[in-house]
Amino acid sequence: ILPKNCAVLLECMGNLLANEMFRSGEITDPTDKILKGIKSLKKQSQHLVIVTNNVSCDGIDYEKGTLEYIRIMGRINRRMTEIADNVTECVYGIPLILKGQLL
């Protein structure tokens, strides 16, 4: 349980996904578990800031586990965007507002 009206910084979604996905030595899909946790944090906090990664734009050939990681990260990023009030992409330190407004 978090303090009332708190702000939460979840850094970094890429590490969280990797830790959950490769926890048992086998590749698992933790999308639902991660999103459930995000929704819980959002309900408990006044402000929730999540730092994530865009890992699917280089087009280099990867092995199966890495491709699955990229696929799941893309799905989580899309689902987070659906539930977020504001979405900002930072490119070379320049904020690009994708949804909502700059805070």
The kind and range of the H/E element at 39 are: helix 31-44
Q: What is the dihedral of CA 7, 50, 38, 68, to 10 degrees?
A: -170
pLDDT in tens, 13-24: 999 999 999 998
Cα→Cα distances 22→11, 19, 30, 68, Å: 18, 6, 10, 11
Query: pLDDT tens-digit profile of 33-79?
Result: 999 999 999 999 999 999 998 887 777 788 899 999 999 999 999 99
CATH 3.90.1150.10 fits 7-99, yes or no: no
Q: What does the domain layout of the chain look like in residue ranges? A: 7-99
